[in-house]
Chains A and B, each alone.
Chain A
Amino acid sequence: MKTTRRRRSGERVRWWTYALLALAAFACLFPLYWMFIVATTDTATATNLPPEIVPGGNFFHLAGLVFSTVPFVRSIVNSLVVAGTIGVGQAVLCALAGFAFAKMRFRGRNALFLFVVLTMTVPTQLAIVPQYMIISSLGWVDTLQALIVPGLANAFGIFWMRQHISSAISDEILQAARIDGASTWQIFWRVAFPLVRPAAFVLGLLGFVTAWNDFLWPFVVLKSPEMYTVQIAIKALQNSFNIDLGLAMSGSFLATLPLLVLFVFVGRRMVAGIMNGAFKG
């Protein structure tokens, strides 16, 4: 695509195209910049008018307050454990199921796959009361596995990995491995998975981000502050002081920073992954 340099319709890019795209980019970035401004400004100046437009010097003071108000380090560790396990787990489980649906012959395959696709349209969040009752009867209330185990299922991920495996892996390679005496598991793990690892990586990233940012379910099942994920810690910070916006903003900024840093390194692959997994007519 890049090499042929074809144009959309023979026209050059107009200045207003850049103007509109720059406006969209500004709209995307400004709230985060603003979060940083308020996170570095003490309450008195945060409520100044006109508002401060440059960061203040209070970042470490406020960050210190965040860490002393809620067990913030612990909540970051909790979030890392939950989101990390879900990301890796989804990547492997979805690749495995996607491999079975794409490359294996078994009775009921098409009906089962249709079922997987249909589950994507079920709004399971509104079954939250019985979900809580099930977690409660398992004795998992206020534990991290209450977040991890249900989070491992991802119908979209199975659909997605099946698409990638169908298009990226030829049957000849699998047949060659079979003739060499490999078992089905070995064919998956040694041959198929390495070939779709980039797609599985992006899927794992999306799972990580979604789990890191999840709110309602952790809010319902986590009770004690030392089990909080960062999102619930932010909510606790918002509750803790009546006036102090800087504190909640500081917590929000600290909770978002790890993902922003991650995004600088893997954002390009996430963009490509989302666009490759998309509908194409």
Chain B
Amino acid sequence: MTTSISPTKASLPPAPPVQAARRGFTETVAPYAYITPFFVLFAVFGLIPLLFTFYVALFDWNPIGEHVFVGLDNFSRLVGDVRFWNAARNTVSIWLLSTVPQLLIALVLAHLLNHVRLRLALFFRMTMLVPYITSVAATAIVFVQMFDRDYGLLNWLLGLVGFEHIDFTQSVIGSHVLIAVMVTWRWFGYTTLLYLASLQAVPRAIYEAAAVDGAGGVRQFLHISLPSLRPVIVFTIVTSTIGGLQIFTEALLMNRGAANTCGPVRQCQTLTLFLFEQGFIQFKFGYAAAVGVALFVMVVVLAGLNYFLSTRIRPVKG
């Protein structure tokens, strides 16, 4: 299967003349009718809200009161809002901490799984999908407990070997690492399967020829596996950028005492959580929409940059 979006050669032949006369109109509109549900749903619940975000951001918009046009006031307030910059910093930090290890782990595991003689191959593949079917909410609750300062399993183990207990949920870097661990846990198996599928499409003869020429496992990985994975690596970098910048649930469930800020000093409040807090706790729809616009710009810039970089950088010529 390829991923090209070029038109397929094949097409359903037009109805024979006898029937074309009878149900000509129905047959002409049929393809449009089949694709209409998607376009209507996307327009109403995706595109229009997205465009409307830019409009609402220009207002002081109270959901139950009135709304007053304020121009770019929300944006100038946003630029001077330390809570916004804090959330932006947290978002980028968590995104980097969760994306980079996830993709590297997936690369290694896919390489290991791509062994025809491997026993228990189906068991390993299925197990890696278990985190993906576990909900983010359940994941957050169990990880926060395992990483608890006083009663967590991890800190108990650290204590056994003589380390100080780490207060994951209350510290800045600790809470970022904890969220990154949850995100990585959830997605590395799924990404591994995507990489594995790509690796399996590489003809074995290429590896055999390389082995005959004396290339070892590492060189085969660098010069055969990695180049053939480029399209799927670009795809996963872009999707994990879009997803990683919108992290919400893990942050909300981190600190029960101050859930909407992810802790008393906003140590792990992401931009999406800040948007939620402004929109649905403070009921400042206009300001929340401005946060949405900022987040949109950030996603487009970073996803575009990643796409640009990952398609430009050429592998080492071998």
Contacts and interface: CB of A to CB of B under 8 A. Distances in A.
Interface in B215-258: 217, 220, 228, 231-232, 235, 238, 242, 245-246, 248-249, 252-253, 256
Given A123-B242, A183-B27, A249-B145, A256 B138 contact: yes
A122 to B, nearest CB: 7
B56 to A, nearest CB: 6
B177 interface: no
A70 interface: no
B15 interface: yes
Interface string B125-151: 111111111111111011101100011
A81 to B, nearest CB: 17
Interface string A140-167: 0000000001101111001000111011
A63 to B, nearest CB: 15
B1 A276 contact: yes
B86 interface: no
B136 A213 contact: yes
B44 interface: yes
B37 A28 contact: no
A209 interface: yes
A69 interface: no
Contact of A178 (B16, B196, B208, B228): B16
Interface in A12-71: 12-13, 17, 20-21, 24-25, 27-29, 31-32, 34-35, 38, 46-47, 49-51
Contacts of A158: 35, 38
Interface in A79-136: 93, 96-97, 99-106, 109-110, 112-114, 116-117, 119, 121-134, 136
A125 B141 contact: no
A174 interface: yes
A47 B189 CA distance: 31
A175 B117 CA distance: 43
Contact of B279 (A123, A129, A171): A129
A24 B109 contact: yes
A235 B253 contact: yes
Contacts of A31: 131, 134, 139, 142-143, 146, 185
A194 interface: no
Given A126-B53, A152-B37, A263 B130 contact: yes
B98 to A, nearest CB: 15
A234 B257 CA distance: 16
B231 A9 contact: no
B10 A103 contact: yes
Given A93-B37, A270-B129, A153 B46 contact: yes
Contact of A124 (B19, B50, B112, B248): B50
A20 to B, nearest CB: 6
B118 interface: yes
A31 B242 CA distance: 26
Nearest to A6: B204
A51 B189 CA distance: 28
A29 B127 contact: yes
B285 interface: yes
Interface residues of B, number: 123
A104 B11 contact: yes
Q: Which of B127, B246, B275 has the most A CB atoms < 10 Å from its CB?
A: B127
B146 to A, nearest CB: 6
A110, A248, A253, most chain B CB atoms within 10 A: A248
Contacts of B128: 24-25, 28
Nearest to A10: B211
B292 to A, nearest CB: 4
B161 interface: no
A71 B116 CA distance: 49
A148 to B, nearest CB: 11
Contacts of B39: 112
A139 interface: no
A178 B12 contact: yes
B307 to A, nearest CB: 9
Interface string B94-114: 000000000001001100111
Interface stretch (B77-85, B167-175, B295-303): B295-303
Given A32-B134, A109-B31, A245-B145, A220 B42 contact: no
A235 B138 CA distance: 9
Interface in B38-94: 38-39, 41-42, 44-50, 52-53, 56, 63
Interface of B: 1-3, 5, 7-8, 10-16, 19, 23, 26-27, 30-32, 34-35, 37-39, 41-42, 44-50, 52-53, 56, 63, 105, 108-109, 112-120, 122-139, 141-143, 145-146, 150-151, 153, 156, 185, 188-190, 193-194, 196-198, 200-202, 204, 207-208, 210-211, 217, 220, 228, 231-232, 235, 238, 242, 245-246, 248-249, 252-253, 256, 259, 272, 275-276, 279-280, 285, 288-289, 292, 295-296, 299, 303
14 contacts: A6-B204, A7-B115, A28-B127, A32-B134, A93-B37, A129-B289, A167-B1, A171-B10, A215-B135, A215-B249, A231-B135, A267-B126, A274-B197, A275-B194
3 shortest interchain CB distances as A-B pairs: A252-B138, A153-B41, A130-B49
Given A106-B32, A134-B48, 4 more contacts: A29-B130, A38-B145, A105-B31, A153-B41
